[in-house]
Structure 1
Amino acid sequence: MSATAHAKAPTLAEQLGQKLMLDFRYYCEDNAQESEKCRTPMTSLPPALANLVAKHNIGGVILFAENIENTQQVVTLNQQLQDAAKLSSLGAPLFISVDQEGGRVARIPRDIGTAMTGNMSIGATYAEHGTHYATAAAQVLAKELKVLGFNVNYAPTVDVNMNPENPVINVRSFGEDPKLVAELGGAQVEAMQNHQVIAALKHFPGHGDTSVDSHTGLPKVEHDKAQVMSQDIAPFKAIIDEGHAPGMIMTAHIQYPALDDSTFVSKDGKTMVKPATMSRAIMTDLLRDELGYDGVTITDALDMAGISHFFTPKDAVINTFKAGVDIALMPIPIRNDEEIAQFDTLMQELVAAVENGELNKQEISQSSARIKALKARYNLGDQSSSIDKQVSQANAVLGSKAHRVIEAQIAEAAITDIKNTQLAPKLVADAQHITLIMPDTRKCMALQQALEATGVKDKTFHCVSLQGFDPEQTQETLSKTDLVIAANASPAQSAVEIGGMDDVEALEAFSLSRSEQPKALEALMAQAQAHKVKTIFVSLRAPYDVAQFGQYAQVALATYAYNIDVDNGQTVKGPAFSALAKVLAGKISAKGSLPVTVNQADSE
C-alpha cells in the first residue's frame, strides 16, 4: 500500500469499522445451520470472514477457547486474521484479544498454557510477598499470549469484591481492599504492557458489589457517590494517577444511579436507569474529564443480557458511541452468510447515524484516532517472523517449566490457614481410611494423587462425588472412615468462565443438582461430626463458605482455586491440589492471608 493511501484521512466507514471488535467463535459455512444452533468452532479463517474484516476495516476480534485447539493452529489463525486486515483500505492491523485473566477465566487450554490460580490467590500472597506474584503472573500470561499472536488481554480485573454473594467476580478479584486491588492491578498492567500485550482494565466503574451477573441480567449498585469513589472507582483512579495507565479500560453493564440516574426506554417499552456502558456522565465526564484517562475504552460484550435484553444491536452500538466509548465489543453474532449481511446493514446504519447527526462526527474521528495511536504505540503491524518460527517460539514458551514453577509457587504461597491447619498433617498421618468429599470425581482423583505424590502412602481412599451423590453408598463409606477431607467450590461457574452467553443454557441444565450439592455436603459433614470423625474442610474457591462449613471441621483452609491442568483419564493434577496436598502432608505451611473478610464466628 502506498504512503499516500496511509496518509489520507480515513473515511467515516473506515473510522467506524475500527471501532468494532467482533467475535468469530462459531461459523457455519454451509448456512444450513441457524445462528443459535451453529456450534462449529472457527479455527481457520474462512474466506467470507476474511472478506468481512477487509471490506469493513474491522478494528479487532476476540477469540474464545473454541477458537484455540493447539499452538500451530492458533498461531496460523491469528496470522490469517492479520493478513485479512492488511487487505483493508486502511491496512490497519487488528487488535486480537482474549480473556486470559488466569484462574477462573482462562481461554488457552490449561494443558498447553500456564493458567495460574487467579487474582484472589495472588491477593492472598500480598501480606508476605507484596506485588511480586502479581508481576510474575502477568509476565507469564503476557509472554504466552504474545507468542501466539494476541496483543490485547482483557485483564486485570480490578473490581473490589465487597459482596460475598457476587456470582461473577468473587475470586476474579484481588480482594476487598481498594488499595491492595490498585497495587496488584497496577503491577499487572505494567508487567503485561512491558511485554507488549495491551492490558484492558475492567470492569469500570466496578463490578465488585453486585449480586446479579451482567451476563444474565442488569445489576444495580446503590452506593452513594462517596462510596463509589472510595471503593469501586478507587483502583481505576490510582492506576491512572500512577502514570502506567492501561491501553484499554472495559465498561461494566451496571446501573450506578449515584453517578448517573438518567433513564432510557428499553426495546420492550420499560423505563430504566442507563447502564454505565451507555452513560456519557460515567464514560466521558467521569472517566475522561474527571479521572483524566486518555486511552481507549471498550464495552464489555454487547450480547450479554445486561444489554441485549433491553436494546437492539443497532441501538446498543449507537448508545455506546454516544456515551463516548471507543470500541463496541461483540455487537452482533456472525456465524453464517445471513449474519454477514446483517452486519453490512449495521455498518450502513452507523454511517447514517453520523451523517444525520445522531452521532457526533468529530467525536467518531477523535475516537478512531485514539485507536490508531494505541495500535501504533504497540507496533501491532510488525509480523516479521514466519509461522514456523512463531510456532517454534511458542512451543518453547507455552507452559514452560519456568512458567509452571511460578504457577506452583503462587498456589503454595496462597494457601491460607483459616482454622488449626497445623493439625492437618497429624490427622492425615494417623488416618487409615480417608474419605474425600468433593464436588466431582476428578477433584477426588486430583487430591488423592497429589497426596500420594507427597509421600502419603498406605492409606485407603474413598471418593464421595457430590455431583453423582449416592446416599446409601456414602453411608457405608462414612461408617468405615477415620478422616474426612471435605471440599466446596462456591459460587458455581458463571458464563464468563466457560466462554460467554452461548453457554448459559448449558449451565442452567444442571443448576438444580448443583444447588443441592452444598446441602448434601453440610449434611455429610454434620453426620461426620456427630460420629466424632475427624474432618478437614477445604474452601476451593471464594472462602466465604467457611462460615457455613467450618463449624463442622477441626481444620479449615482455603486454596482459592482448583485448576486441573492434566487429565488423561488416569493422571489428574493441578497446581492448587499439589499445593494443598503439601500443606496437608506437612511439607509446607499455609502462609497466605485472607484478602476478604470471612465470618468465622461459627467456625471456631
Structure 2
Amino acid sequence: MTRRIALAAIVVTAGLVAGAAAAPAVTSPRLARLVGARLVVGIDGTTASPSLLQRIRRGQVGGVILMGSNVRNAPQARALTASLRAAARAGGNPLLVMTDQEGGTVRRFRWAPPAASAEELGRLGEAAIRRRGNDTATALERLGVDVDLAPVADVPGVPGSFIAAQHRGFSTVPARAAKDVTAFSAGLMDGGVAPTLKHFPGLGLATASTDEAAVTIGAAAAGLAPGLLPYRRAIAAGVAPLVMVSSAAYTAYGGKPAAWSPRVLAVLRELGFTGVTITDALEPLAATHRVTLSQTAIRAARAGVDLLLFVGSERSTAAVYGALLDEARAGRLTRAQLQASAGRIDELAATYAG
C-alpha cells in the first residue's frame, strides 16, 4: 500500500555540524532547507551519529542511503531507520531512506529478496517479475526503506558490456528489457517502495564501470536510442518516480558526464519524465575526473539533477553542504532551480517516506 505523510512546517536551524564551516547568520531557514533537501548521504557504521541526526533535524539532509556495511540483521536495520525518522520528525523535515536492492550480487540486505540477479529474473515472465518486485518492496518497507535504487534499465549492447558481465541487465533485447524493467518497477510500487530506473541514458554500451574509470560512450544518438526504450515504457506506464543519471559521458549529448549535462537532463524530460532525478554515487565521479567532491556536486546541481548521492564519510558530505549553500547564497544556484527540485522531492517524500 502506498504510504503518505503530511509534510510539517519546515523549521531549519542554519549552520553546519561541528567540524564544518558555519553558515553565515544571514542564511534564511528556507534557503538552508532547499539546499539540504538535495543531499542523500551515507552513514559511518551501523548507527547514526549524533552529528548526522542533528543535520537531519536541521534539514541539511534530504535522504540517507544504507549500504551493506550499515546493516547486520533486520532488528538492527529497523532500529537504525527508526532513529533516522525520529530525527526527521523532530525537525519537521521529510527524509527518504534508500538502498540498492537490485538482486544477485547487488543486494545490501543479504537476507531479503530478490536473490536472483536481473539476468536471472529476465528469464521469468512479466507476472513473475512483478511478484518479485512486490516481494522486495514488502521486505524493504518492513525495514524502513522508502526507495530502491533499482531496477537497472541498461540494455547490454556490445561484447564485453560490464552490465552483462555483472548479470545486472534483464535482457539484451530492448523491447524485452523494457517489459521486464516496467514489471519490476510496478511490483516495487505495489509494495509501497519507489523504484529508481538507472543509469540514464544507458550503460549498455560501456565496457568499464564508471565506479572505476572515466567512461565515454561515443555512439551517435541513433545508437543510443534502443537503450532509451525501457525508460520510455516505464515512464508511459507511470512506474518511474525516480531516474538515476549515469556518470558516463556521451559524445552524442555534448561529451560531459551525464550527471553534469543539462542536455542529458533535457532528453530525459523530453521523454515525458516529471519525477525526481538522482546522481549515481558522486565520489567515483570526482575521483575519475580529478575534481573535488564539492565541485562534482555543484556541477550536478547546476545541470539540474535533483538529488545528489554520496556514499562516503559523513564529514565529507557536511563540507559539500556548505559549498552548495555558498553557491545558493551567491545566486549561482538560483532560487527557482532550488524550489523546482525541492517541489519534486517533497512530492516523492509525501508518497513514499515512512
Q: 1:266-303: per-residue Cα shift (whole Å, max 9, x none)?
A: xxxxxxxx1001100001x2111x11211000000001
Is the alpha carbon distance of 1:308 and 1:12 closer, same or farther for their aligned partners in structure 2, counting shifts above 3 Å?
Answer: farther
Which of 276, 279, 289 is equivalent to 1:296? 276
- Confirm or deny: 8 A CA contact 2:60 2:321 kept in the other structure: no
Which residue identity lines up with residue 109 of structure 2 in the other structure?
I
Which of 17, 24, 31 is equivalent to 1:12? 31
Distance (Å, rounded) in 1 between the aligned partners of 2:69 and 2:48: 13
Match of 2:23 in 1: none
Q: 1:113-161: per-residue Cα shift (whole Å, max 9, x none)?
A: 2332111112223xxxx31221121111111111111010011111001
Deviation, 1:377, is: 2.0
Is the alpha carbon distance of 1:57 and 1:99 closer, same or farther for their aligned partners in structure 2, counting shifts above 3 Å?
Answer: same
Distance (Å, rounded) in 1 between the aligned partners of 2:65 and 2:294: 20
- Confirm or deny: 8 A CA contact 1:200 1:248 kept in the other structure: yes
Task: State the SS of the aligned residue for 2:208.
Answer: coil
Rg larger in structure: 1
Distance (Å, rounded) in 2 between the aligned partners of 1:371 and 1:10: 18
Match of 1:21 in 2: 40
Distance (Å, rounded) in 1 between the aligned partners of 2:173 and 2:338: 37
Alignment pair present for 1:313 and 2:293: yes
Is the alpha carbon distance of 1:220 and 1:153 closer, same or farther for their aligned partners in structure 2, counting shifts above 3 Å?
Answer: same
Q: 1:382-401: per-residue Cα shift (whole Å, max 9, x none)?
A: xxxxxxxxxxxxxxxxxxxx
Q: 1:231-279: per-residue Cα shift (whole Å, max 9, x none)?
A: 121211221123x231210011111111223xxxxxxxxxxxx100110
Higher relative CO (CA 8 A, sep ≥ 6), structure 1 or 2?
A: 2
Could you tell me which runs of 5 or more consecutive residues in structure 2 were left unpaired when the two chains were aligned. Answer: 1-5, 13-27
Any runs of at least 4 consecutive aligned residues in structure 1 with deviations exceeding 6 A, and if so which?
Answer: 7-10
Deviation, 1:218, is: 1.4
Distance (Å, rounded) in 1 between the aligned partners of 2:244 and 2:120: 23
- Confirm or deny: 8 A CA contact 1:156 1:188 kept in the other structure: yes
- Confirm or deny: 8 A CA contact 2:99 2:145 kept in the other structure: yes
Is the alpha carbon distance of 1:185 and 1:369 closer, same or farther for their aligned partners in structure 2, counting shifts above 3 Å?
Answer: same
Match of 1:76 in 2: 79
Deviation, 1:332, is: 5.3
Q: 1:413-449: per-residue Cα shift (whole Å, max 9, x none)?
A: xxxxxxxxxxxxxxxxxxxxxxxxxxxxxxxxxxxxx
- Confirm or deny: 8 A CA contact 2:7 2:94 kept in the other structure: no
Distance (Å, rounded) in 2 between the aligned partners of 1:228 and 1:3: 40
Distance (Å, rounded) in 1 between the aligned partners of 2:48 and 2:64: 12
Which residue identity lines up with residue 149 of structure 1 in the other structure?
G
Is the alpha carbon distance of 1:107 and 1:162 closer, same or farther for their aligned partners in structure 2, counting shifts above 3 Å?
Answer: same
Which of 362, 366, 371 is equivalent to 2:340? 366
- Confirm or deny: 8 A CA contact 2:188 2:195 kept in the other structure: yes
Distance (Å, rounded) in 2 between the aligned partners of 1:168 and 1:306: 22
After superposition, residues 375-386 of structure 1 pair within 5 angstroms as 375-378=349-352, 380-381=353-354
Count, aligned residues? 333
Match of 1:559 in 2: none
Match of 2:89 in 1: 86
- Confirm or deny: 8 A CA contact 2:7 2:93 kept in the other structure: no
Task: State the SS of the aligned residue for 2:250.
Answer: coil
Could you tell me which runs of 5 or more consecutive residues in structure 1 were left unpaired when the two chains were aligned. Answer: 27-41, 262-273, 382-604
Match of 1:246 in 2: 240
Is the alpha carbon distance of 1:51 and 1:233 closer, same or farther for their aligned partners in structure 2, counting shifts above 3 Å?
Answer: same
Distance (Å, rounded) in 2 between the aligned partners of 1:79 and 1:178: 40
- Confirm or deny: 8 A CA contact 2:153 2:197 kept in the other structure: yes
Task: State the SS of the aligned residue for 2:189.
Answer: helix
Distance (Å, rounded) in 2 between the aligned partners of 1:82 and 1:316: 28
Alignment pair present for 1:257 and 2:251: yes
Distance (Å, rounded) in 2 between the aligned partners of 1:141 and 1:98: 12
Task: State the SS of the aligned residue for 2:64.
Answer: strand
Match of 2:70 in 1: 67
After superposition, residues 191-230 of structure 1 pair within 5 angstroms as 191-229=187-225
Deviation, 1:166, is: 2.0
Match of 1:96 in 2: 97
Distance (Å, rounded) in 1 between the aligned partners of 2:170 and 2:211: 21
The two structures, once aligned, show a CA RMSD in angstroms of 2.2
Q: 1:320-367: per-residue Cα shift (whole Å, max 9, x none)?
A: 011110000007522xxxx2xx54443232122123232222011110
Is the alpha carbon distance of 1:182 and 1:10 closer, same or farther for their aligned partners in structure 2, counting shifts above 3 Å?
Answer: farther
Match of 1:280 in 2: 262
- Confirm or deny: 8 A CA contact 1:15 1:368 kept in the other structure: yes
- Confirm or deny: 8 A CA contact 1:166 1:211 kept in the other structure: yes
Deviation, 1:48, is: 2.4
Alignment pair present for 1:158 and 2:140: no
Is the alpha carbon distance of 1:343 and 1:222 closer, same or farther for their aligned partners in structure 2, counting shifts above 3 Å?
Answer: closer
Deviation, 1:7, is: 9.8
- Confirm or deny: 8 A CA contact 1:313 1:332 kept in the other structure: no
- Confirm or deny: 8 A CA contact 1:253 1:307 kept in the other structure: no
Alignment pair present for 1:122 and 2:121: yes
After superposition, residues 511-590 of structure 1 pair within 5 angstroms as none
After TM superposition, the score normalised by the length of structure 1 is: 0.53
Identity of aligned residues (%): 29
Match of 2:50 in 1: 47
Q: 1:460-515: per-residue Cα shift (whole Å, max 9, x none)?
A: xxxxxxxxxxxxxxxxxxxxxxxxxxxxxxxxxxxxxxxxxxxxxxxxxxxxxxxx
Is the alpha carbon distance of 1:358 and 1:331 closer, same or farther for their aligned partners in structure 2, counting shifts above 3 Å?
Answer: farther
- Confirm or deny: 8 A CA contact 1:58 1:85 kept in the other structure: no
Q: 1:142-200: per-residue Cα shift (whole Å, max 9, x none)?
A: 11111111010011111001123123454100111111111010111111012110101
- Confirm or deny: 8 A CA contact 1:218 1:305 kept in the other structure: yes
Which residue identity lines up with residue 365 of structure 1 in the other structure?
Q
Match of 2:168 in 1: 172
Task: State the SS of the aligned residue for 2:195.
Answer: strand
Task: State the SS of the aligned residue for 1:52.
Answer: helix
Deviation, 1:225, is: 0.7
